[in-house]
Amino acid sequence: MQTVAVVDYGMGNLHSVAKALEQVGGGSARVRVSAEPAVIGNADRVVVPGQGAARDCMQALQKRRLIGAVKDALATRPFLGICMGLQLLLETSDENGGVDLLGFYAGRVRGFSDSLSAGHNLKIPHMGWNNVRQERVHPLFADIDDGARFYFVHSYFVVPEEAGLGVASAEYGMRFCCALASENVFACQFHPEKSAADGLRLLRNFLSWDGAC
């Protein structure tokens, strides 16, 4: 039986993600919510969810000595980042006056308040269902229609320097990148665990994914 570690750094809806993974796994995966680097290091797959401010998330990862375990997972195994688990992968965030992130990908995290086109009068955070446009084929989108609706809750979005990293986008006053993918890493701004059948399908795809794009 494969093992899936959901990284517990004290931020976000960890247990709802774990329950969704258990549901789609159908007994084929052992899902563990853990803050132990050894448990994360021994898992076959790693999921980093999270909600909250960028500075708080980075401080929580540092305090629990989890940065090394997360970076190792990013380099070696199927990895799924959700919400802050996406944003943390870039170099810096404009949130909290500027925060250094994990730096796995070149780029920054920007706020909608600085970027929305004039005249849209859209509320921040961007919260609710939105259509996700698949920019390229990826195994985690298997059996999910292009334009399927997923659930979002966020005020910031990723701007990777390498445009080819973007695997999906959405529209909220402007088009923004809502998922990145390269090699064994897939990370999305939306919440698959809150996104009904299509979200569960994405999680099921993750559990059967060999880590290749």
Residue range 10-22, pLDDT digits in tens: 887 788 999 999 9
Catalytically annotated residues: 83, 191, 193
The pTM (predicted TM-score) of the whole model is 0.96
Strand 166-171 with 126-131, pairing: unpaired
Residues with Cβ within 8 Å of residue 155, at least 6 apart in sequence: 95, 111, 112, 113, 124, 125, 126
Q: What's the structural domain count of the chain?
A: 1
Instruction: Please report whether residue 57 resides in a domain.
Output: yes
In a domain, 203, yes or no: yes
| Residue linked to tokens 């059967």 | 208
What are residue 186's phi and psi, to 5 degrees? -135, 130
Evaluate whether residue 213 is within a structural domain: no
pLDDT of residue 114: 62
Q: Residue 151 falls within a domain, yes or no? A: yes
Q: 165-183 burial by CB neighbour count: b if 16+ within 10 A, else e? A: bbbbbbebbeebbbbbbbe
Kindly state whether residue 101 falls inside one of the protein's structural domains: yes
Residue 134 lies in a domain: yes
CB 54 within 8 A of CB 83: no
Is residue 163 in a domain? yes
**In tens digits, what is the pLDDT along the chain, a chain of 213 residues?**
899 999 999 887 788 999 999 999 988 899 999 999 999 999 999 999 988 899 999 999 999 999 999 999 999 999 999 999 999 999 999 998 999 999 999 999 999 886 665 566 788 899 999 999 999 999 999 999 999 999 999 999 999 999 899 999 999 989 999 999 999 999 999 999 999 999 999 999 999 999 887
Measured distance CA(33)–CA(93) in Å, rounded: 26
Query: Which CATH number goes with the domain that contains 47?
Result: 3.40.50.880
Give the Å distances, CA to CA, from 204 to 29, 190, 209. 11, 16, 9
What is the per-residue pLDDT for 104? 97
How many Å apart are CA 96 and CA 67, to the nearest integer? 20
List the domain range (segments joined by +) for residue 97.
2-208
Identify which of 101, 94, 98 has the alpha carbon closest to the alpha carbon of residue 50.
101
Question: Which pLDDT value is given to residue 119?
Answer: 60
Does residue 94 lie in a domain region? yes
pLDDT of res. 87: 97
Bridge partner list, 127: 153
What is the chain's length? 213
